[in-house]
């Protein structure tokens, strides 16, 4: 049975949204409505039978898990923190950065026997990183500018996103250890993949072909 309802894709507002729209335009889709969105949050890409939903990263996962969006574009950082039941099908290659353990320069983080305090916006990521090392740590959840925590002596280290490294550098901090690489991922609702398999797979094939061509032309 032909389902003519647009496929709904939730995009993480900001850079990932822009990079995804750039990718869709490379596929020849007319993204004028998204480019001229104003304050609108649901926008059509009619020639691709897509509907774009603009949301915060955590909410992209929530909407895809609940099946109100068929697909989503979200950073691996959010996926690692939130987990959830969906398929992670494509590494889109953009939005590249990493999770790292960092702290004040020239300090031996692993020295001493006391329980270390780790400040982070990503408590689950930090907890599993140290659990894998068999290391007991105290996690303190911080909402933004986590770099402040070691500077204020609240924490021995932070687990945070590092992109260019300038925030660390300009605050006298350094990476002690890489935790995990991060990039944008295409996620798909489990039921949508069954019900609209052909459309979703066709879109994914186009995306993968474009990503391959980009890689080859580097």
Residues that bind ligand PRP (CB under 6 A): 144-147, 160-167
Residues in the chain: 218
Q: In terms of CB distance, is 29 or 99 closer to ligand PRP?
A: 99
Q: Which two tokens stand for residue 131?
A: 């659990």
Q: How far is the CB of 158 from ligand PRP (least distance, A)?
A: 9
Q: In terms of CB distance, is 4 or 166 closer to ligand PRP?
A: 166
Residue of 185, 196, 192, 156 lying closest to 66 (CA atoms):
192
- In the block, residue with structure tokens 């590249």: 96
Give the DSSP per-residue string, 37-78.
Answer: -TT-SEEEEGGGTEEEEEE-HHHHHHHHHTTSSSEEEEEHHH
Q: In terms of CB distance, is 145 or 205 closer to ligand PRP?
A: 145
Q: Count other C-beta atoms under 10 Å from residue 41's C-beta.
A: 10
Q: How far is the CB of 28 from ligand PRP (least distance, A)?
A: 32
Q: How far is the CB of 209 from ligand PRP (least distance, A)?
A: 31
Q: In terms of CB distance, is 90 or 119 closer to ligand PRP?
A: 119
Q: How far is the CB of 152 from ligand PRP (least distance, A)?
A: 15
């Amino acid at each position: 049975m032909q389902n003519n309802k647009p496929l709904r894709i939730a995009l993480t507002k900001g850079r990932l949204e822009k990079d995804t729209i750039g990718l869709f335009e490379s596929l020849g889709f007319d993204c004028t409505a998204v480019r001229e969105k104003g304050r609108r949050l649901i926008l059509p890409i009619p020639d691709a039978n897509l509907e774009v939903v603009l949301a915060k990263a955590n909410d992209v996962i929530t909407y895809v898990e609940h099946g109100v969006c068929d697909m989503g574009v979200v950073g691996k950082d959010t996926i690692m923190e939130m987990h959830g039941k969906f398929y992670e099908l494509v590494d889109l290659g953009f939005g590249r950065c990493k999770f790292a353990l960092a702290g004040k320069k020239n300090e031996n983080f692993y020295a001493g026997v006391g329980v270390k305090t780790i400040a982070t916006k990503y408590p689950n990521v930090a907890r599993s990183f140290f659990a894998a090392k068999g290391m007991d740590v105290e996690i303190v959840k911080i909402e933004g500018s986590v770099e402040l925590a070691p500077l204020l002596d609240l924490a021995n280290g932070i687990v945070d996103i590092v992109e260019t490294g300038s925030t660390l550098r300009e605050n006298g901090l350094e990476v002690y250890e890489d935790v995990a690489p991060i990039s944008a991922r295409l996620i798909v609702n489990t039921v949508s993949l069954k019900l609209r398999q052909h459309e979703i797979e066709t879109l994914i094939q186009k995306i993968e072909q474009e990503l391959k061509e980009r890689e080859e032309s580097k």
